[in-house]
Structure 1
Amino acid sequence: MNQTDDPLLAVVSAYAAACEGLAAATTGRTGRGPQGALLAVTGAPIAALNGIISPSLNPSAEEIMALAAEGSPWEFPWSIHVRGVPGPLVAEAAARHGLTHFEREPLMIRYSDQGLPTEPDVDGLRIRAVPVDELGLYARTVAGGFEAPPEIFQIFADSSLAKVDGFTFYLAELDGVPVGTGMTAVAGGLTGIFNVATLPGYRRRGYGRAVTVEMVRAGFAAGAGTAYLYSSKMGEPVYQSVGFRTEEYLTVITAPA
């Protein structure tokens, strides 16, 4: 299938490439199937950050099974990511590995022809790119934003991530105190947006929206004015207010909690 038949293929492929870059920097455990499916193991104790991603609208169960065998033994929680509703063969392949929980995540896109969003204006909030020597602070703030133990997101403290082409990490601060985070992966004219999180005591003040707008503006400056992200259902209204629209869904298949 070519780009004309599948206009979102480039976006989903960019998402897969960002996951590949993260895994290559942290563990080096990556692989590709003949039809383009990706094996990416970051080593984080989060199923969504280890696994197999198929950018195709028609994923191959055989390719997924082969990559699952390549990733074995799976010493970390892992997952299978496919677009839309998984077919019975993919669901069966996942179930053979105990992956039977299905979670849908909206793919939201803001196209470059919508123009540059207005610069965020939130009193006292400073949003800045994080240098390599502050990635530990960044990782701790991400964990706090997602209300998770610090070790869950420790991979984002890995200094090798600063060397990944196109990756930028952001902190939002009030009077020098971190209150939120974001991350971009810029490649091929696209800005991938990740890790948008706000610390619990600072929510409902527009900080997550401000970080998102700042990252979209940075993407424009880098020549990547079309931005994409995978959202939670709760986050959809925030991103819609910035101009993102849901285009399709990603199904993440994991083991039951």
Structure 2
Amino acid sequence: MALTNDHVEAAVRAYADTCESLARAATTGRARRGPRGAVLAISGAPVASLNAIISPALEPDADEIADLADSAKEAGFPWSIQVRGEPTPLVTEVAAAHGLTRRNAMPLMIRWPDEGPPPQSDHGALRVRAVPADQLGAYTRLLEDGFEAPHGTFEVMASPSLAEMPGITFYLAEVDGVPVGTGMASVSEDLLGIFNITTLPRYRRRGYGRALTLEIAREGYVAGATTAYLYASKMGARVYESAGFRTEEHLTAISA
């Protein structure tokens, strides 16, 4: 597993900030920030990765995480602790005290400015459009289909207020007007975070995921971003590599 790199800390902090903002805007969400910058972001969704303590620091403060962990547990949802690289023994001890022992490594992939502006997608049939606030409920249902999750899993993220957040855009990918995938962008100064990239099961292996990622990146660069980042699944890493993203480090999520 790759070690952590301090030159990517800005991207990790942007990721934590986005999670915090989304949690505050979600219908059942709440958020809190520790004195050293760790973020507690509770969306209220029944998914551990969406109710998380995220430490962007190269050396996480176990005491800060322990303090936030009490609030995370009280919220009553599945939750996780997310740290860069391998958890320290003290962080591991805090997690285990709350029954969190399962680890999942998520590669942080970055598209650096020297890659140049993202090219326009050559997938002529694919159209990518922003989702207005009144269609966010339909978007979350498609997101559930893309992740093959039970309907209702992301219901708390369907609040129209999320679509009104500065810098946040939700996207649908469509072919001949038929939805085939989803995505989300978070632009903060020169950083573009890409989230929620899915392709519906019956439309996979046609290049739609790569084309959607490039189109979201292109729009983010038009909005002023010069560097794009995302956290990938192991299965999706090759797709993002083909779009100019490179793995820089890993985020370890510890859950029950």
Please indicate the TM-score interval, normalised by the length of the shorter structure. over 0.9
- Whether the 8 Å contact between 2:72 and 2:79 is mirrored in structure 1 is no
- Whether the 8 Å contact between 1:216 and 1:225 is mirrored in structure 2 is no
> 1:65 aligns to what?
66
> 1:210 aligns to what?
211
> 1:10 aligns to what?
10
Amino acid at match of 1:12: V
* TM-score calculated relative to the size of structure 2: 0.95
- Whether the 8 Å contact between 1:25 and 1:160 is mirrored in structure 2 is yes
> 2:123 aligns to what?
122
Moved more, 22-31 or 183-192: 22-31
Taking the TM superposition and a 5 Å limit, the aligned residue runs for 1:103-114 are: 103-114=104-115
Query: Please, which runs of 5 or more residues in structure 2 have no aligned partner?
Result: none
1:238 maps onto 2:239 in alignment = yes
> Matched residue of 1:73: which SS?
helix
CA-CA distance at 1:156 after TM superposition: 3.1
1:80 maps onto 2:81 in alignment = yes
CA-CA distance at 1:164 after TM superposition: 1.4
Taking the TM superposition and a 5 Å limit, the aligned residue runs for 1:1-257 are: 6-26=6-26, 27-255=28-256
- Whether the 8 Å contact between 2:73 and 2:79 is mirrored in structure 1 is no
CA-CA distance at 1:96 after TM superposition: 0.4
- Whether the 8 Å contact between 2:141 and 2:154 is mirrored in structure 1 is yes
- Whether the 8 Å contact between 1:39 and 1:67 is mirrored in structure 2 is yes
- Whether the 8 Å contact between 2:174 and 2:180 is mirrored in structure 1 is yes
Between the aligned partners of 1:188 and 1:71, the Cα distance in structure 2 is: 30
Between the aligned partners of 1:124 and 1:181, the Cα distance in structure 2 is: 16
- Whether the 8 Å contact between 1:139 and 1:155 is mirrored in structure 2 is no
CA-CA distance at 1:28 after TM superposition: 4.7
Alignment RMSD (CA, Å): 1.1
- Whether the 8 Å contact between 1:209 and 1:239 is mirrored in structure 2 is yes
Moved more, 89-98 or 157-166: 157-166
Query: Please, which runs of 5 or more residues in structure 1 have no aligned partner?
Result: none
- Measured against aligned partners, the alpha-carbon deviations of 1:25-70 in whole angstroms (never above 9, x if no partner) come to 0135111111110011000110000020000010011000001123
Amino acid at match of 1:103: N
Between the aligned partners of 2:162 and 2:75, the Cα distance in structure 1 is: 23
- Whether the 8 Å contact between 1:135 and 1:158 is mirrored in structure 2 is yes
CA-CA distance at 1:84 after TM superposition: 0.2
CA-CA distance at 1:237 after TM superposition: 0.5
Between the aligned partners of 1:181 and 1:72, the Cα distance in structure 2 is: 31
- Whether the 8 Å contact between 2:29 and 2:44 is mirrored in structure 1 is no
